[in-house]
Amino acid sequence: MVEKRDREQGQGQGPERGRSDRTRDRGEHGGERDGERSGGGGRGRGGGRGRGDRDRKSRREDSEREEYDERVVDITRVAKVIKGGRRFAFRTVVVVGDNKGRVGVGIGKARGVPDSIRKGSERARKKMHRVAISGSTIPHEVTASYAGAKVFLKPASPGTGVIAAGGVRAVLEAAGVSDVLTKSQGSPNLLNVAMATLAALAQLRSPEELAQMRGKPVESVRPFWERKQKARPLFETAAPVEPPVEEQKEEDAHE
What pLDDT, on a 0 to 100 scale, did the predictor assign at position 102?
Answer: 94
220 confidence band (pLDDT: 50, 70, 90): confident
Q: What is the pTM of this model?
A: 0.64
Percentage of residues in the chain having pLDDT higher than 90: 49
| Parallel/antiparallel/unpaired status of strands 162-163 and 180-186 | parallel
Distance CA 137, CA 154 (A): 9
- Tell me: pLDDT of 143 over 70: yes
More confident call, 202 vs 32: 202
More confident call, 61 vs 157: 157
Contacts of residue 109, Cβ cutoff 8 Å, sequence gap at least 6? 78, 89, 90, 91, 92, 116, 119
What pLDDT, on a 0 to 100 scale, did the predictor assign at position 221?
Answer: 82
As a dihedral over the C-alpha atoms of residue 9, residue 15, residue 21, residue 24, rounded to 10 degrees, the angle is -110
- Tell me: pLDDT of 227 over 50: yes
243 confidence band (pLDDT: 50, 70, 90): low
Distance CA 11, CA 55 (A): 63
- Tell me: pLDDT of 242 over 90: no
Sheet of strand 129-130, all strands in order from the earlier edge strand to the far edge? 69-82, 85-97, 102-110, 129-130
- Tell me: pLDDT of 166 over 80: yes
Give the burial class of 128: count Cβ atoms within 10 A of its Cβ; 0-12 exposed, 13-18 middle, 19 or more buried.
middle
What pLDDT, on a 0 to 100 scale, did the predictor assign at position 181?
Answer: 95
- Tell me: pLDDT of 9 over 90: no
- Tell me: pLDDT of 48 over 80: no
